[in-house]
Structure 1
């Protein structure tokens, strides 16, 4: 009897080792064999946001680079409309492996009622029609709506500001759902506030943001509050409207907050939200400049070109992250479980500074500021 138990335990241990070995297998990110049918991909976003267009563009380029799509020249839509790009992709990509489903584009248009209907409709389609094999979930809303046990379709969450604190993933090493993968770069938001404070030395930081779970996630408020405790500066909040269908209201709310904050703070952190865009940026820059207030743009170089003082950018743009995302799409197609894939994208950053803005606000650019800036801009561009 004892011998039988020993043999049973030995067999169990061997099976356990074998399972770990298979789970840790390094799946290829490139095409291996032609599938019986192409993987049908759908797209879901909370609403239109210019960086979603950039990510979709970069992912498509990455998929082409890895061989999932034949080489192609993507169109450049000045209005950065994801629907236009998706429609073009659904009609024009040449691939033996992938299909961007023409009627697979979903957007809640930043309307909560629409969000509920759209997400339910998509999940119902995933479960009953079974004509979608993968979903690109763009942004926090989309990630939250598909990070659940209501479906089992592989889901790639992209461009969620903080997927951990917004409840999309369980932790940085585990999405919490077998079908879910989310790209995550925890260092970017951490470094933004630390670098801004180190260079400017503000005592009062103005932060306009929507005071919701998603809004706090976009702005990285947990990290800002931690930095406030560690570095000894005061946060002066102003609550905006962001994820709403009335775009004009969202935009005006940010302008109103800048008017309120600028006279009483030392610096402003310009967080990602619906009301911060090419239309409002010249107004926001004008208000900050009037009061001599340094600004830090959460979304990097393009915003600094339009007149914010500082920003962190990825050294190579979104190209490397697009390949990282495409790499994981490929691994899933080749059999990897989304939950088992590495979620953290290790990007490198550089500082960009607008010297014209520094002049306009009367900021003395000392040696530390010059040394920190990898890229100096000498004029303020007007958004197209």
Structure 2
């Protein structure tokens, strides 16, 4: 009887040890997200990260612990960064350039995988796309040389007589500052047209930015991708409608009412980020993982908005679109 009890106790200890070891194998991921409206919830694009992780066998609560912090509103960012670093995660995931720069300044040792950073080389986050160096790698949204010109080309097909196209930027966004210093003025010179700049750093300033674009008699507007405009997408769409400004937007969040969306598929990039996490958790170094550029783009045209603005969208443009909202 004692022998049976001993065997049963030993078996119980073995099972318990196996469970402890399994729990010990759980890795910790820190996610510095933008969220939906700056709240405590992930947006639709960010949720695609979980698909990417599952594709590689990583399941939250099973073999992965995920801690969340949010980068908006901006005054929350320092505390969010400090909170994640204090947890000593195995990998950090981060969206957008401002938050990525903040994380990079806070740690040179914890691996960082960024998503939706336009030009990580220009921002000094990595040495090169092929050889990032350091502890940062990820997925860039920017294809140099055609960011502004491509959007102007699309707008001019819808508004052929456009001679002034405003550009909405956030001066706090380091990528916007790079584009304003180089690509925007060179594009204006090459095309021989005016590209008035309107700025907003807060939700309230969006109203005055659109009013300024209208006052400068802009024929259309390009809305640069930014955490502010993404979170405030309904407001941006409403302001474009109020001032009757045909607009091209950066991401699919604007498709419900924005005239045109042309930009990288951000959800696909978050999905692909799961592969980076998988490689790093299996021993790869960020410095050896090349930064990837967009492989899928969203090109959506909202015909309801076009009709409301009295615009005729040429068939050639409709045929090139991935989706046409009737």
Q: Does TM-score exceed 0.5, indicating one fold?
A: yes
1:6 corresponds in structure 2 to none
2:15 corresponds in structure 1 to none
Conservation of the 8 A alpha-carbon contact between 2:255 and 2:261: yes
Change (3 A) 1:295 1:199: closer
Greater relative contact order, per chain length (Cα 8 Å cut-off, separation 6+): 2
Give unmatched runs, 5+ long, in structure 2: 1-21
Change (3 A) 1:348 1:120: closer
TM-score, reference length from structure 1: 0.66
Q: How far apart are the structure 2 equivalents of 1:269 and 1:94?
A: 42
Q: How far apart are the structure 1 equivalents of 2:294 and 2:175?
A: 24
Residue by residue over 1:191-218, the C-alpha shift from the partner in whole angstroms, topping out at 9 and shown as x without a partner, is 5641432551532111122223436269
1:41 corresponds in structure 2 to 29
1:83 corresponds in structure 2 to none
1:308-327 residue pairs with structure 2 within 5 A? 308-312=258-262, 318=266, 320-327=268-275
Residue 293 of structure 2 is aligned to residue 345 of structure 1: yes
Q: Alpha-carbon deviation of 1:260? A: 1.8
1:180 corresponds in structure 2 to 136
2:55 corresponds in structure 1 to 65
1:144 corresponds in structure 2 to 101
Change (3 A) 1:311 1:109: closer
Give the length in aligned residue pairs: 296
Q: How far apart are the structure 2 equivalents of 1:214 and 1:47?
A: 20
Query: Which of 38, 41, 65 is the aligned partner of 1:99?
Result: 65
Change (3 A) 1:363 1:56: closer
1:1-384 residue pairs with structure 2 within 5 A? 37-45=25-33, 53-69=43-59, 93-96=60-63, 98-100=64-66, 104-112=67-75, 114-120=76-82, 122-123=84-85, 125=86, 131-148=88-105, 150-177=107-134, 179-187=135-143, 190-191=146-147, 193-200=149-156, 201=160, 202-214=162-174, 216=176, 222-241=182-201, 250-263=202-215, 264-273=217-226, 274-275=228-229, 277-289=232-244, 293-300=245-252, 302-306=253-257, 308-312=258-262, 318=266, 320-378=268-326
Q: How far apart are the structure 1 equivalents of 2:119 and 2:131?
A: 14
Q: How far apart are the structure 2 equivalents of 1:62 and 1:350?
A: 19
Q: Alpha-carbon deviation of 1:64? A: 0.8
TM-score, reference length from structure 2: 0.77
Give unmatched runs, 5+ long, in structure 1: 1-33, 70-92, 242-249, 379-384
Q: Alpha-carbon deviation of 1:144? A: 0.3
2:8 corresponds in structure 1 to none
Conservation of the 8 A alpha-carbon contact between 1:172 and 1:344: yes
Change (3 A) 1:254 1:218: farther
Residue by residue over 1:99-147, the C-alpha shift from the partner in whole angstroms, topping out at 9 and shown as x without a partner, is 22xxx433354335x5445535544x26xxxx42221123222210222
Conservation of the 8 A alpha-carbon contact between 1:46 and 1:115: no
Change (3 A) 1:198 1:296: closer
